[in-house]
């Protein structure tokens, strides 16, 4: 519902489209007329001041669309309340159908001002950037932070957040607001009951899984319906074994990157879990929620996941579970990177459309979200770190998030940032994920899985219709 005092152009366009008065322009036509950011004049800017660095027009309405997923939308509503305390009213909506609901509006040139582009129906951000439909966020990065005018927003961000918003250039196009620690999630209670420590080498992993099996417990489970979940531990495992350059070569679609010895060693180690019967029976058919439920019921020790899992599985997590996360278990002492190495990066992406009627307001909303108050509120509400450096310091965190913070601190600079999942989503989720799924189900051997991965990567590299990216 619109809560502003006037009927703006956005409202008129939507009502006209609903009445059949507007035709839907072709994508090519949109590409030719879309703004690349910075020159949108739909809402006249006000005077820029220290407290209003983007010159937000106080009378202009702001429209925010939030993905209705594991994080919910209360954190956004709270940030919108801060925004409306100084500026115009906010129209808020939430949906899981990001692409089907918003792609037509992007084509019409009638987008919201801020989009939380997440979930299974997320729009292809790379295609939007290519079509000049995304606002350049450099202005946001260079603005004074909300809490300290002497510190820019850029300098408040966690490692890798800016890089995650870049696609083959130095321009930041999107803000990944949450900060996710990926790894082997487990129950400290379950390990204590077995009287074992978290396995640091693969020999130790096999020994722990064998002891668990003797107690009728599986070593691992995973979301077989979404096999790319395995990549949350497999990719950093590869990087630890062979070094970050192995992952960069995979990201860059280099010939034979998937045939590196580190990839083979990692695939053979994970295949051993299946070959020795350490994977929970039925895992290939489980959804992410079903696999998490099995794990929460102490039916399996380890699950590959990200730090959103604590909030997502909260209702089914026993009070005594003591959720924790560890870096991917190392292969052995010959690994190129230390045990503490892990994959941690920004997630939960937001962007401002290039044709947003109130782009300055969109930038200001993101600046508010990156303020300490909003960042701590997000962490308190959804058990996730944010992109804001040090925002959770001193907070009373739940067990899983406490563990994530500890392993992140222990990793120091030993952080890996695979880009294949967001540069080439179909390749990662379907082709690579499918090969790993077949291997973990016991249908194919590691050599066949590697060949499938390399063939899929080569096909993507040779497909001129797919935009390519390189590490800068």
* DSSP secondary structure of 331-386: --TT-SS-TT-EEEEEEEEEE-BTT-TTHHHHHHHHHHHTSHHHHHHHHHHHS-EE
Condensed to tens digits (0 to 9), the pLDDT of residues 435-472 reads 999 999 999 999 999 999 999 999 999 999 998 998 86
Mean pLDDT of the chain: 90
Q: Is the pLDDT of residue 220 over 70?
A: yes
Condensed to tens digits (0 to 9), the pLDDT of residues 149-206 reads 999 999 999 999 999 999 878 899 999 999 999 999 999 999 999 999 999 999 999 9
What average pLDDT score do residues 318-325 get? 97
Say what the pLDDT of residue 157 is: 97
Domain 9-178+348-394 and domain 180-345+404-462, same fold? Reply is yes
Condensed to tens digits (0 to 9), the pLDDT of residues 10-53 reads 444 443 444 343 333 333 333 333 334 434 446 788 889 999 99
152 CB neighbour count, 10 Å cutoff: 15
State whether residue 166 is helix, strand or coil. strand
Say what the pLDDT of residue 338 is: 98
Domain boundaries, the chain: 9-178+348-394, 180-345+404-462
Say what the pLDDT of residue 39 is: 42
- pLDDT tier at 250, thresholds 50, 70, 90: very high
Rounded to 10 degrees, what is the CA torsion of 433, 126, 382, 69? Answer: -70
What average pLDDT score do residues 248-263 get? 97
> Distance (Å, rounded) from C-alpha 122 to C-alpha 348?
10
Q: Is the pLDDT of residue 217 over 60?
A: yes
Say what the pLDDT of residue 472 is: 67
11-15, 96-100, 249-253: which range is least confident on average?
A: 11-15
Say what the pLDDT of residue 312 is: 87
CA distances from 434 to 334, 416, 456 (A): 29, 23, 11
Say what the pLDDT of residue 88 is: 92
Say what the pLDDT of residue 2 is: 35
- 159 Cβ contact list (under 8 Å, min separation 6): 344, 413, 415
> Distance (Å, rounded) from C-alpha 8 to C-alpha 19?
17
Rounded to 10 degrees, what is the CA torsion of 394, 399, 401, 405? Answer: 60
Q: Is the pLDDT of residue 376 over 70?
A: yes
Is the CB of residue 371 less than 8 Å from the CB of residue 387? no
Q: Is the dihedral of CA 263, 268, 274, 279 positive or negative?
A: negative
Condensed to tens digits (0 to 9), the pLDDT of residues 133-152 reads 999 999 999 999 999 999 99
CATH class for the domain made up of 9-178+348-394: alpha beta
What average pLDDT score do residues 351-357 get? 97
Say what the pLDDT of residue 27 is: 35
Say what the pLDDT of residue 19 is: 39
- pLDDT tier at 257, thresholds 50, 70, 90: very high
Condensed to tens digits (0 to 9), the pLDDT of residues 67-91 reads 998 789 999 999 999 999 999 999 9
Q: Is the pLDDT of residue 253 over 60?
A: yes
Condensed to tens digits (0 to 9), the pLDDT of residues 382-420 reads 889 999 999 999 999 999 999 999 999 999 999 999 999
Superfamily of domain 180-345+404-462: Periplasmic binding protein-like II (3.40.190.10)
Going by their DSSP bridges, the two strands 218-220 and 415-416 should be labelled as: unpaired
Q: Is the pLDDT of residue 4 over 90?
A: no
């Amino acid at each position: 519902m619109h809560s502003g005092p006037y009927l703006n152009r956005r409202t008129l366009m939507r009502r006209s489209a609903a009445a059949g008065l507007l035709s839907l322009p072709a994508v090519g036509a949109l590409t030719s007329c879309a703004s690349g950011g910075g020159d949108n004049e739909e809402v006249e800017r006000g005077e820029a001041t220290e407290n209003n660095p983007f010159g937000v027009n106080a009378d202009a309405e702001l429209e925010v669309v939030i993905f209705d997923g594991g994080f919910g939308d209360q954190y956004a509503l709270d940030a919108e309340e801060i925004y409306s305390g100084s500026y115009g009213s906010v129209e808020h909506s939430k949906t899981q159908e990001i692409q089907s609901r918003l792609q037509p509006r992007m084509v019409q040139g009638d987008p919201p001002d801020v989009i939380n582009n997440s979930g299974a129906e997320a729009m292809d951000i790379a295609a939007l950037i290519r079509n000049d439909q995304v606002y350049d966020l450099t202005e946001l990065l260079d603005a004074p932070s909300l809490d300290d005018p002497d510190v820019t927003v850029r300098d408040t961000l966690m490692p890798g957040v800016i890089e995650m918003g870049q696609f083959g250039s130095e321009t930041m196009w999107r803000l990944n607001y949450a900060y996710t620690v990926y790894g082997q999630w487990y129950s400290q209670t379950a390990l204590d009951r077995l009287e074992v420590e978290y396995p640091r080498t693969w020999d130790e992993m096999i020994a722990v899984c064998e002891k668990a099996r003797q107690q009728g417990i599986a070593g691992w489970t995973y979301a077989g319906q979404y096999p790319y979940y395995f990549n949350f531990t497999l990719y950093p495992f590869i990087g630890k074994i062979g070094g970050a350059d192995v992952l960069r070569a995979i990201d860059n679609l280099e010939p034979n990157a998937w045939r590196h010895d580190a990839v083979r060693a990692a695939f053979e180690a994970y295949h051993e879990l299946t070959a020795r019967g350490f994977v929970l029976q039925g895992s290939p058919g489980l959804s992410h929620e079903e696999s998490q439920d099995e794990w929460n019921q102490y039916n399996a020790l380890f699950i590959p996941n990200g730090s959103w899992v604590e909030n997502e599985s909260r209702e089914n997590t026993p009070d005594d579970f003591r959720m924790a996360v560890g870096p991917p278990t190392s292969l052995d002492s010959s690994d190129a990177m230390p045990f503490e190495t892990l994959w941690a990066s920004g997630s939960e992406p937001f962007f401002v459309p290039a044709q947003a009627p109130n782009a300055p307001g969109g930038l200001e909303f993101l600046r508010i979200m990156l303020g300490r108050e909003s960042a701590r509120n997000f962490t308190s509400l959804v058990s996730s770190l944010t992109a804001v450096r040090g925002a959770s310091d001193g907070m009373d965190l739940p067990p899983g998030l406490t563990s994530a913070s500890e392993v992140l601190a222990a990793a120091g600079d030993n952080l890996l940032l695979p880009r294949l999942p967001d540069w080439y989503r179909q390749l990662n989720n379907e082709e690579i994920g499918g090969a790993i799924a077949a291997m973990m189900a016991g249908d194919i051997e590691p050599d066949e899985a590697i060949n499938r991965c390399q063939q899929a990567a080569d096909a993507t590299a040779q497909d001129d219709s797919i935009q390519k990216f390189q590490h800068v």
